[in-house]
Chains A and B, each alone.
Chain A
Amino acid sequence: MNRVIDDPDQVTEGTLRGVLAAHPDLLVATDHPRVLRHAGDRPKGRVGIVTGGGSGHEPAFLGYVGPGLCDAVAVGEVFASPTAKSFHAAFKEADGGKGVACLYGNYAGDNMNVKMAAKLAAKDDITVRTVIANDDVASAPREEADKRRGVAGEILMWKAGGARAAEGADLDGVIASAQKAIDNTRSIGIGLSACTIPAAGKPNFTIEAGKMEVGIGHHGEHGIAVLPVAPAKEMAGLMLERILADLEFGGEDVSVLVSGLGATPLMELYLLYGHVDEILRAHRITPRFRFVGNYFTSLEMAGVSVTVTRLDEELDRLLRAPARSIGLTVAG
C-alpha cells in the first residue's frame, strides 16, 4: 500500500504536528506531547470534558475538541490506547475545579489506562468520573452489553456531555447526560477491506475480495457474519435490522450518523444514507438529526458504520446546542 507518510514509527507525531499547524484556532499543544487542549479559555468553574483513544480514527478523537465538545484529548499510538500518564495530563488540562468527565470507548487498554490515570488524578484532588461508550451492537449480545465496544456513537456522547457542561451542569449532571446519550445509541459497521498499521507494515486481519464483514470492529475485530458483498440497500437493511432489534422504539425521533471507515467515497455514504432514511421512515421513525461523512474512521479500511440515537427532549436540546470542532460543528 502506498502511503503519504515519513517514518512509519513517527506517524502519530507527524499527524499531531499537522493538526496543530492547521487548526491553531481550535487546538494547542500542552506540556505533554500526546495531549492537546482546546485553544480557548480553560474550563474555569465548569466541568471539564476529556476523551482519548488510539490514532488512526481521525477525525476521532482529537477532532472533537472544541467549544461545546471536549476540552482536552489524550492521543495514543495507532490503534493503541494512550498511556495512563497521557490521560492524567489531559485531566489536569481540562480541570476547572468542578471535576472532569472522561468520556471514552470500551477497550481493555483504554479502561486500564483511564483507571490508572484517575488514581493519579485523585492525588491531585481532581475528581474524575467516566462514561464508557458501548454502542457497537455486533460486539457482544445484549445480555453482555458491558462487553460491547465503543464506536461512532461516542460522538453523540461527547456532544451531549459537552453541551451539558457548557450549560453549567455539575459533574453528576454531565455524566448523566453523556450516559443517557450512549444508552440510547446503537451502532454497527460493515467492513469491505482490511487496513494496515503503518509501523506493522501488513494487515493483521483480512477481508476476502467480494466479501463483506458485517459487524466488524474499528480495528478489524471479528463481526457477526462474513457475506458476499450486497447492494447498498441490503447493507442498510442488515445494519438497521440489528440496531432496531436492540433499541426499543416507542415513536421517538432519532439522530442518524453514517460514517465512512476511511476508504469509502462520500458519494457511497450518501447513497447508503438514502436507504437508511427510507427504511427508518417506513418504520415510522423520523431522522431529526442527520450526519453523513467520515466522522470516525479506521485508517484506510473500506466500509461504513451506521449509528442511531433515540431522542428525548433533553438529548434533542443537547444535540442542537452550538459546538465547533474539526469533526463536528453545530451553528446553534
Chain B
Amino acid sequence: MAETVTLADAAPIATEIGAVIIENQGLLSEIDGATGDGDHGINMAKGFRLANERLGKKSFDLREGFATIGDTLLGDIGGSMGPLYGSFFTDMADSLEGSDKLDRDNFAAMLTAGEAGVVDLGEAKVGDKTLIDVLVPARDAFAAAAKDGKDFAASLEALKAASAEGLESTRDMVAKLGRAARLGERSRGTLDAGACSANLILQALADGLLKRLHAA
C-alpha cells in the first residue's frame, strides 16, 4: 500500500467527483425540496457539468482540476452554494500550490484549508444543519486518525465514516441558516441538502484516493 499519490495520477478524481454529483442530481433536489426551493441538485449538477466539460478540454493535475471546479462554481453558480463550494475547491487548490503529490499530512492541510474557506464565508457552526456538519467532523476524524499514527488509507476510512455520520446527524437538527431556516421546527426530520452534497464530494474524493493508494 502506497503512502502518497501524485497529483497527476489523482487528476481523474476531479471529474469523478463531478460525475457523482451529476448522478445524484435528482436525490439532491428531492432532499432540498423537503425544506428549501428544490433546486440544489439542479444547481450543483449544472456547476459540475460545466467544470467537467472544461476539464475535458485540457490536461490537468488534481490541483488544477480543483482550481477549475472552484472557478466554475464561483463564476457560473450563484446563490449560496456557488461561493461556498467555489471557495472549498479554490482554497484546497491553493493549499496544494508547490506540491506534486498528496500524502496524509498535506491532505489534512488541504481539507483544513477548504473547510476554513467555507466557514469564513458562510459563518455557519456545527449544529446549524448545513454542509459544515459534514465537513468539520470529517476533517477532525482524519486529523485524529493521523495523530494516532494511522496511515493515509486508514485515515481516509475514518474520514469516510465521520462524513456519513455527519450527514445523518443533520436529520435531527433544526435549520438555523439559509432558506430552510424559515421552517424552524418543521425542518427537523429531513437531511440537509448541502450536507448531502458535501458527503457525496468527500466520499468520492476519499474513494478516488483509496483506489489509487491500493493500486500502487
Contact = CB atoms under 8 A, between A and B. Distances in A.
A83 B121 contact: no
A112 B37 contact: no
B122 A112 contact: yes
A113 B39 contact: no
Interface residues of B, number: 23
B74 A116 contact: yes
B166 interface: no
A71 interface: no
Interface string B78-109: 11101110110000000000000000000000
A161 to B, nearest CB: 23
Given A84-B83, A115-B121, A222-B182, A109 B37 contact: no
Contacts of B182: 217, 221-222
A108 B177 contact: yes
Contact of A109 (B74, B78, B87): B78
A199 interface: yes
B82 A113 contact: yes
Contacts of B76: 83, 85
Contacts of A76: 78-79
A197 interface: yes
A112 B84 contact: yes
A95 interface: no
A86 interface: yes
A116 B82 CA distance: 11
A240 B122 CA distance: 34
A119 to B, nearest CB: 10
Contacts of A112: 80, 83-84, 121-122
Contacts of B36: 204
A82 interface: yes
B77 interface: yes
B39 A200 contact: yes
Given A108-B122, A113-B83, A199-B39, 4 more contacts: A80-B78, A83-B75, A86-B78, A200-B39
Interface of B: 36-39, 42, 74-80, 82-84, 86-87, 121-122, 177-179, 182
- What 3 A-B pairs are tightest by C-beta distance, nearest first? A85-B75, A112-B83, A80-B79
14 contacts: A77-B79, A81-B80, A83-B74, A84-B82, A84-B83, A85-B76, A86-B78, A108-B177, A109-B78, A109-B79, A113-B83, A116-B74, A199-B42, A219-B179
